[in-house]
Structure 1
Amino acid sequence: MKAQLENQGPATGEKLAMECFRIDESGYTGYDLLNTDQRFQGATAIAISDADAAGLIKQHFPKLQASELKYRSLSRRSVNHPRLLALQRNLLSDYKCVTYVCDKRFLLVLKFLDYAVEPYYFERGIDFYENGQNYAMASMLSYAGPALLGKEAFEALLVAFQRAVKQKTPASLRDLVSAARRTKWRELPEALGPLAQYAAPECLEAISTPGVTTDAALVVLQSLISRMEAMAGGPYRVEHDQSNNLLSYNELLQRFIDHKEPIEFRQSAIASLKFPLQLAEVTQVNSKASPAVQLADVMIGAAIEAANNLVGLRTGGLDPEAVTSLYREDQFIHLLPSIDFDEQRRFRQGTQAAEMIDYLTYNVFGPPSGNRGRDGR
């Protein structure tokens, strides 16, 4: 079989069967998106061989004594900061890289609109997702929800929604409706009315659907995969650490790989998702034996730290402006609230968000065969 050069950067001619992206994550808290200690979640994918990665580690940290390169340990000492920035600059300049960071609280608000609001409009023939208006409403709720709806009541609503999605019991659904009614929902009936005024059965059914979850791993992977698919020159594989957090990523990646039905969705002005994927294989490795996975840890660690510093949740570590300035626009994906509603509309014009959410929920990650989604599949 004719071998291809795998991830051939400036320093290696190592050959393997397929190009390989190494992935690491940070900030994973499962279904709990309101964890105050970890506001942001994300992941980085880098197409680099272990040989090249080992060479870069030796170049930038020649006196490293630890068994593996860990961003959190290195960033605590200011003497390491120039080296960490230089290492990331090399990676972003010479290798295929993508980093994704999301505000988990904002994502939870988006999911609330997806399942506790949108089905009500769908049943009435209204495209709630048209030109990204769901993102605009989620941004408004993120910024103004506490003031409009009552700070404690809005917080209780998000807690009740998260619990209802996880438990899917009649009691948790009743609690969710009650929480919606305790807010000042008449200040924003477009978002809260379906639950507070009508206890819309279509919304409660959507929340109860097997496969519907507040876990952010699927959202993170969708974004990483859309960029890896665009960067890869053909079939490729993924390797990631053996951590417990990445077990969820591993299962989701395998489901993506296993789905062979041809279909394509437009996610935004710069992203789409097309099945079947070029992604052919996912494996777990011990990060201590994979310099490439260690570099992914550095990239996502720096990005999450920068996000926390920029919003004032943390201090210390690398200068966040210095970190973000290293990235080209196509190397960094973020999911954050934005009050630039016109830009949101332009960016998401023509998106197929509704179709993609339904398709993935019912055909890739959802209920067993025999249960049908809204599209009848």
Structure 2
Amino acid sequence: MERFSIDESGYTGFDLLNSDQRFQGATAISASNEDAVRLIREHFPKLQASELKYRALARRPANRERLLKLQRDVLAQNKCVTYICDKRYLLLLMFVDYAVEPFYYEQGVNYYEDGRNYSLASLLYYVGPAILGEAEFSALLAAFQHAIKFKTPQTIHELVLAARRVRWNELPEALEPLACAAPECLAAIATPGVTTDAAFVVLQSLISRMEVMAEVDYRVEHDRSKNLLNYNALLERYIAHDHAIEFRQSSVASIKFPLKLSAVTQVDSKDSPAVQLADVLIGAAIEAANSLAGLRGSVSNPEEVLGLYADDQFIHMVPSLDFAEQKAFRRGTQAADVINYFAKNFHGPTS
């Protein structure tokens, strides 16, 4: 049975405003341990550490070229996919999902048609601080993820107050439902299982590609780290879901159940050279994204790192003001159906 090895980076749970970790992502790679060992020994023959770790190796400038060549060979020789998202943008998409869309749904409007939700989230990302008030807008987003997490009457009331403190009438399409305490939006935010934890989004994106790359049933292995425990529970839910259904998410992405994914296991990364290769890929990709965004930990060759990927090996969720392109990419999406279906079948406690 084919095996994909997964590793993640940038996971901060429900807190998508963590200033130290702007991006979150994960890599899945199909490689045998024998091939992984060969690649590691070829590029790092003098490695003394018990395992290959991107962060430790990247600290030394002398390792940079070897890391780049290792990534080039891994991507050229193996089935791989890397996913990265800007967590602030993802939070704004969630804001649209729960604090905006339910109001328009009650009016009979399909707010997901042709990617309208992505366009509004992108607009909020780029111009929200300027037209709504920078401090007030930041406080609104913090109150939103706080209300989603705790779901108490007090946190939801504080969220409504935060919406009223921004200059919401400058962008009423996005802010009026919450500023006016639209009951359908408040109910959506209070729904059990609704969360701002990005693990669900990351996994869904990886699975959409693994399902295409795998010709037959496959299994997934991942590290035993605390961050990946939530991934494991979600993967087990995906595997157990045997209802036959398919959704179109964009011009290049869809998801179909039952999945070819049939098993998930947790391993110690020291015992899995393939997981170590996934660590290198996602570590380098996150670092490159930080560099392109002008954040700390920048590197001199971010374009070269990301340029190693073929189009079908890299998925990114970042804001864009090219609304025409967004509309074309999302035309015909079944996003509303996907959200409703996943909320019914996969949201809720994972333990």
TM-score in same-fold range (> 0.5): yes
What's the CA shift for 1:346? 0.5
* Local SS of the residue matching 1:108: helix
- Which residue number corresponds to residue 56 of structure 1? 39
- Which residue number corresponds to residue 185 of structure 2? 203
Distance in 1, Cα, partners of 2:64 & 2:309: 17
Higher helix fraction (1 or 2): 2
Distance in 2, Cα, partners of 1:335 & 1:318: 23
Distance in 1, Cα, partners of 2:240 & 2:299: 40
Q: Give 5+ residue unaligned stretches, structure 1.
A: 1-17, 369-377
- Which residue number corresponds to residue 170 of structure 2? 187
- Relative distance call for 1:316 and 1:130 in structure 2 (3 A) is closer
Is the counterpart of residue 154 in structure 1 residue 137 in structure 2? yes
Match for 2:154: what amino acid? A
- Which residue number corresponds to residue 328 of structure 1? 310
- Which residue number corresponds to residue 275 of structure 2? 293
* Local SS of the residue matching 1:66: coil
What's the CA shift for 1:95? 0.5
**TM norm structure 2:** 0.98
Distance in 1, Cα, partners of 2:187 & 2:158: 15
CA deviation profile, 1:10-61 (whole Å, cap 9, x unmatched): xxxxxxxx10000000000000000000000000000001110001000000
**TM norm structure 1:** 0.92
Distance in 1, Cα, partners of 2:267 & 2:221: 7
- The higher relative CO (CA closer than 8 Å, separation ≥ 6) is in 2
The 8 Å contact of residues 288 and 298 in structure 2, kept in 1 or not, is answered as no
CA deviation profile, 1:158-197 (whole Å, cap 9, x unmatched): 011000000001111111111001110000000001011x
CA deviation profile, 1:341-377 (whole Å, cap 9, x unmatched): 1111100001111111111111122489xxxxxxxxx
* Local SS of the residue matching 2:21: coil
The 8 Å contact of residues 262 and 276 in structure 1, kept in 2 or not, is answered as yes
- Which residue number corresponds to residue 140 of structure 1? 123
Distance in 1, Cα, partners of 2:286 & 2:256: 28
* Within-5 A mapping of 1:174-323: 174-196=157-179, 198-317=180-299, 319-323=301-305
Match for 1:164: what amino acid? A
Distance in 2, Cα, partners of 1:366 & 1:261: 18
* Within-5 A mapping of 1:114-133: 114-133=97-116
CA deviation profile, 1:50-74 (whole Å, cap 9, x unmatched): 1100010000000000000000011
The 8 Å contact of residues 290 and 298 in structure 2, kept in 1 or not, is answered as no
What's the CA shift for 1:318? 5.9
* Local SS of the residue matching 1:256: helix
* Local SS of the residue matching 2:263: strand
The 8 Å contact of residues 75 and 317 in structure 1, kept in 2 or not, is answered as no
Match for 1:165: what amino acid? I
Percent identity for Structure 1 against Structure 2: 67
CA deviation profile, 1:288-310 (whole Å, cap 9, x unmatched): 01100000000000000000000
Match for 2:17: what amino acid? L
Distance in 2, Cα, partners of 1:318 & 1:290: 30
* Local SS of the residue matching 2:4: strand
* Local SS of the residue matching 2:97: helix
Residue of 51, 68, 80 corresponding to 1:97:
80
- Which residue number corresponds to residue 348 of structure 1? 330
Is the counterpart of residue 83 in structure 1 residue 39 in structure 2? no
In the TM superposition, structure 1's runs of 4+ consecutive aligned residues that sit over 3 Å from their partners are 315-318
